[in-house]
Structures are given as structure tokens and as C-alpha cells.
Amino acid sequence: QVQLVESGGGLVQAGGSLRLSCAASGRTFSSYTMGWFRQAPGKERESVAVISRTGNTYYADSGKGRFTISRDNAKNTVALQMNSLKPEDTAVYYCAARARLYIATMTNEYDYWGQGTQVTVSS
């Protein structure tokens, strides 16, 4: 069992930056593939960025060049650095864990989810 707790959301002006963090419980964090997803009002939850246990990364087109995912296995944390934020980045951001090796981008491929943190970007 893995418990995930996100932090770092908030209100920021367009062009600004936020750093989201996800703290995970459990001794096997390093074996999980970790992902960040987001869900805007009236839209489906979508993948933003994923990092495998070996450090391979995936970014959705929406965040390429602006977002950076990283993990610290010693601290059981995964972070999402978001720069040059746009109003369309406004959403609830979720951390998710997948107990399999390969990167995945579909919500039903993840086993554990955090409660989410709100990110609001004003124009």
C-alpha cells in the first residue's frame, strides 16, 4: 500500500512558476513509476509527466519545455517544476504511483492516487 500526499499548489499569475511535491509512504517507493496528472473542470484527467524508477521521463505536449519531473528516492518524493505557467494549466494536479516498470499515461494504469492540489493561473 502506498499513500501519496501532494503539496505546492496555489494561485500564480501567467508566466509564473510553481513547484509541486508529492510525498509517498512505503519502503518500495523506488520501485514505482510515478506520474503527475491534472484535471480541469469539465475535462477528463490527463497525464502531464511521468518518471520511471530508472529516471526515464515522459512529458505531455502541453508541458514540454515548461515542466520538469524529478524524484528523490531517498526522500520518497516526486516533484513537478512548472515554469511559464498559462491560464490553461489551471487544474487540480494529482500524483499517482504505478507498481510496474514501464511508463504509462492512462489513469487506469496507476494503482495509487493522491488527493490532489489545486493550481490556478490567472491571466
Over residues 64-92, the pLDDT tens digits come to 999 999 999 999 999 999 999 999 999 99
- Measured CA to CA, the distance from residue 6 to residue 89 in angstroms comes to 17
Q: Tell which residue, 83, 80, 74, 104, has the closest CA to residue 94.
A: 80
Phi-psi map region of 36: left, alpha, beta (phi>0 left; psi -120 to 50 alpha): beta
Euclidean distance between the first and the last CA atom of the chain, given in angstroms as a whole number: 40
| pLDDT at residue 1 in the model | 83
For the chain, which ranges sit under pLDDT 70?
none
- pLDDT given for residue 59 in this prediction: 98
Q: What grid cell was written down for 73?
A: 528516492
